[in-house]
Structure 1
């Protein structure tokens, strides 16, 4: 029941990182992988990585905030690969700027990519899912769907909105055998977070590294590959009765108040 054989999985922004790890996991379960990215260079890099891992993926250049481009890309995928059975709204950005120093333009940009784009792409694939009689949508939410933190006002607002969009897609389209759920990753060891895990000149750990490990019951950063299993579950028939749920894959951070200072 966890197999995805013959299913077409479209993972946005999956040239690298979390999206790539999820796509790789779904390919291992039998899915046909389709992904997009914002420019040809990223798509080519992604295709090279998939090929190196023995995955026959198809990549498309598409800006997920552009509704016309998304509609054309989805139509092209349906023509060249097949109707999308699984959508993973993974593409996203973050701008770490204190709220009172952040421009409205930067705030809107984060909302556009992290919230408007999942709305646009979901809206593009749902009609064909309805016709086919089933569909799985997975939104990559965040712990910031539940928690606030300094410098991430736009990101937290977008991810909180994405949590509620997830529940609303469930509410509107559950009767058509479409399940829409979210994954809320914890702090993941990726190239983007590598500077936060580097040793300091004096040999000590980076303060943020110490902070995250102390707030995580697992006591470590998580690996991107650890998101693959939860994603495969939410994409498979094993989760047909799971709808409107946010699965937090965070090593236990949201369950933990933290250690008492010594």
Structure 2
């Protein structure tokens, strides 16, 4: 099986030219759309022909994204929305339907990382870090899901992170939320597959790539004072971040068109060549692109006593 090439910039398979017009008439909701990766996702969706609903805490912050989407030739509406507030979410979702019609694509991009150790945060701030990275995505998925199921059409793309798959200091809340988001994507897709919606509704979890954004700025001064070695390590690590936001944006656009259905329910790194990965097929990706745990001696992850009981009966 071929190893996927790694891309730090947009490549032909996911280029705007390759996906132009494939979402004409559809509506895409993008959370955290004011800047960075969220803005790149919104513009990529617009280039596929989708009308876009832009969500962020402050609608005015999205003015530039909105204007650029409209310049492409699609309708764009900006909404002030705290994605972690369910009641506000219901109101905004209803307004989107009035303004743009049925929603076909949801990209849960809103998130954040404080880059602080837990003992240097208040409980409220720490818990908010978990909520903004997972609760918002769960709320908005629950809002669109009934309509997706009723129409037998839709895609939910959750912007997760490599942080949800590895152990990292100063990212406990962020990593907890992103790991939950990856597992949620798989569980929700399994429910959809069980009900026969697998070919109609897809859920994906994406690592956007090593992108330099406002969220990857240096460690705060008070944290750096207590952990000077981490400042050096972070600085060296951060220099390796060279993936442009458009790679994630165009990957989202590619998946929204239905061209990557074999990746449904899985975790995908946007820097990998998606054409190569998709070509492997569902069977070729079995037990890959998923969270898992390995045990000493090859013991299965089945609760322990399950396999023991089976052996005793045998």
TM over 0.5: yes
Cα distance, 1:16 vs structure 2: 1.2
In the alignment, which residue of structure 2 is the partner of 1:30?
49
Cα distance, 1:99 vs structure 2: 2.3
Distance in 1, matches of 2:107 and 2:86, equals: 17
In the alignment, which residue of structure 2 is the partner of 1:242?
263
- Give the CA RMSD over aligned residues: 2.5
Q: Which of 53, 64, 68 matches 2:83? A: 64
Partner deviation per Cα, 1:179-213 (whole Å, 9 max, x = no partner):
100111232133554669xxxxxxxxx86453345
Distance in 2, matches of 1:207 and 1:53, equals: 41
Distance in 2, matches of 1:15 and 1:115, equals: 19
Kindly name which structure, 1 or 2, has the bigger radius of gyration based on alpha carbons: 2
In the alignment, which residue of structure 1 is the partner of 2:201?
178
For the Cα contact (< 8 Å) 1:163–1:246, is it kept in 2? yes
| Matching of residues 222-237 of structure 1 within 5 Å | 222-237=243-258
Distance in 2, matches of 1:134 and 1:251, equals: 27
Give the TM-score normalised by structure 2. 0.69
Cα distance, 1:144 vs structure 2: 0.5
Which structure 1 residue ranges, 5 or more long, are not aligned?
Answer: 197-205, 214-218, 253-262
In the alignment, which residue of structure 1 is the partner of 2:92?
73
Distance in 2, matches of 1:51 and 1:154, equals: 36
Give the TM-score normalised by structure 1. 0.82
Partner deviation per Cα, 1:205-238 (whole Å, 9 max, x = no partner):
x86453345xxxxx65111011122111211121
Distance in 2, matches of 1:80 and 1:170, equals: 29
Q: Between Structure 1 and Structure 2, how many residues are aligned? A: 239
Instruction: Note closer, same or farther for the CA distance 1:184–1:63 as it changes in structure 2 (3 Å cut).
Output: same
Name the SS of the counterpart of 2:54 in structure 1. Answer: strand
| Matching of residues 205-224 of structure 1 within 5 Å | 208-213=234-239, 221-224=242-245
Which structure 2 residue ranges, 5 or more long, are not aligned?
Answer: 1-17, 220-231, 274-314
Distance in 2, matches of 1:194 and 1:110, equals: 17
In the alignment, which residue of structure 1 is the partner of 2:15?
none
